[in-house]
Chains A and B, each alone.
Chain A
Amino acid sequence: NAGVTQTPKFQVLKTGQSMTLQCAQDMNHEYMSWYRQDPGMGLRLIHYSVGAGITDQGEVPNGYNVSRSTTEDFPLRLLSAAPSQTSVYFCASRPAGGATGELFFGEGSRLTVL
């Protein structure tokens, strides 16, 4: 099993450009989420989804869009990149349902906005 796969691993953007970070999982997990990690700030939740067609905001959703058309994929879109969005982005998934459970993380995507 590949687990959670994120692409690209590295990206450099200019201010105002748009891009999509891809996230795919092959574990049939209903729950998927995006976090950003900045020095000294820990992991902050951007958006999450509990199943296809269902998304919700996390702690820092501004500037990011998501959609969930399939169970496997949960892309994160930056419509107009800003230097403040320079960060390492992690996608994570876990089975949904009545009980909580381990989050499986992707390897991360390092984004630099100039």
Chain B
Amino acid sequence: QQPVQSPQAVILREGEDAVINCSSSKALYSVHWYRQKHGEAPVFLMILLKGGEQKGHEKISASFNEKKQQSSLYLTASQLSYSGTYFCGTERGSGGSNYKLTFGKGTLLTVNP
């Protein structure tokens, strides 16, 4: 079952902030975030594990609320290079032997000058 991402699309001006949300109806072991530029392969941003560990990447950070099975990706002071489609991927269960990484439908982020 695909996780649900919101919003579907967001348009920013350079320097503005954005939040992308990802939620699942099932208990999660981990949440992954990837960014994909048009015509390219998805690129890994970060992983958040059950236990609430939060990991950041430059000016991009994320959180994982285990009780709500939700994750949020925070883009601070956006740059033109942040434009692309952001996907969250989720793994269910206790991890380890569960290798199914299921992706949401994506959020299209456009950063304008």
Q: Are B100 and A43 in contact (CB under 8 A)?
A: no
Known contacts A103-B34, A103-B89; 8 further A-B pairs (Cβ under 8 A): A43-B103, A44-B103, A45-B101, A50-B99, A100-B32, A100-B49, A103-B42, A108-B41
Report whether A102 and B44 are in contact in the complex, using a CB–CB cutoff of 8 Å: yes
User: Beta-carbon contacts of A86-110 to B below 8 Å, as 1s and 0s?
Assistant: 0000100000111111111111100
Closest to B42 in A: A105
Contacting residues, chain B, for A104 (C-beta < 8 A)? 44
A48 touches B99 (CB 8 A): yes
| Closest residue of B by beta carbon distance from A42 | B105
18 contacts between A and B (CB under 8 A): A31-B99, A33-B101, A35-B103, A42-B2, A42-B105, A42-B106, A45-B103, A50-B99, A59-B2, A90-B42, A96-B99, A100-B32, A100-B95, A100-B101, A102-B44, A102-B47, A105-B41, A106-B41
**A45 touching B100 in the complex, CB below 8 Å, given contacts A90-B42, A100-B91, A102-B47:** yes
Q: How big is the B interface, by class?
A: 20 to 34
Query: How many A residues, CB 8 Å from partner?
Result: 27
Name B's A-contacting residues (CB within 8 A).
2, 29-30, 32, 34, 40-44, 47, 49, 87, 89, 91, 95-96, 99-106
Contact B100 A58 (CB under 8 A): yes
Q: Which chain B residue shows the least CB distance to A59?
A: B102
Q: What residue in chain B is nearest A35 (Cβ atoms)?
A: B103
A99 and B32 contacting across the interface, CB-CB below 8 Å: no
Report if A103-B101 is in contact (Cβ < 8 Å); known contacts: A42-B2, A43-B42, A98-B96. yes
Query: Which residues of chain A come closer than 8 Å to B101, judged between CB atoms?
Result: 33, 45, 100, 103
- Contact A99 B41, CB 8 Å, known A35-B103, A41-B105, A42-B87: no
A53 within 8 A of B: no
